Amino acid sequence: MATELKLTGVDELLDELRRLTPDLTADAVTLERTIAEQTAEQLRAALPVVTGRLRASVQVQRESSVSPARVFTRIAITAPYAEHVEYGTSRVPPRPVFVPITRRGREAFAKAVSAAVKATGLHVTGELRNG
């Protein structure tokens, strides 16, 4: 007896996903920019201030991608001593700010994109892994 697997509606599903992608991508880009700027502001507010140079070095940089459906933003603290503030030195205790705040920003972005996908009527499952 032959075994047969028949999938129906695949072409319609792929057409619908192609139709949704531009809207979801545009929404994700907007969410990404908004959440990245909010995260940068939270970083600036939480960083210690001596000269203001550390806070002024917080940057949000849009990264390019070969795929229009992928979004990348980098948040960086470019002051040369930022790592020493975050992780401490032999003389200065660590003051972790960057890692916890950017982790919360990634979580907020994932939740916002998930909500945008759900708003289209699609079902979203899975687990957020934020390392």
- Provide the residue-wise pLDDT of the chain in tens; the chain has 131 residues: 444 555 566 667 666 666 767 777 778 888 888 999 999 999 999 998 889 999 999 999 887 766 665 667 889 999 999 999 999 999 999 999 999 999 899 889 888 888 888 887 777 776 666 55
Q: Encoding tokens for residue 65? A: 């991608």
**84: Cα separation from own chain's centroid:** 25
Closest C-alpha among 99, 109, 104 to residue 47: 99
Q: Encoding tokens for residue 26? A: 């545009």
**What's residue 51's pLDDT?**
92
C-alpha span between 12 and 21 (Å, rounded):
14
pTM flag (> 0.85) = no
Q: Are 59 and 76 in contact (CB under 8 A)?
A: yes
Closest C-alpha among 117, 110, 104 to residue 38: 104
**What's residue 1's pLDDT?**
45
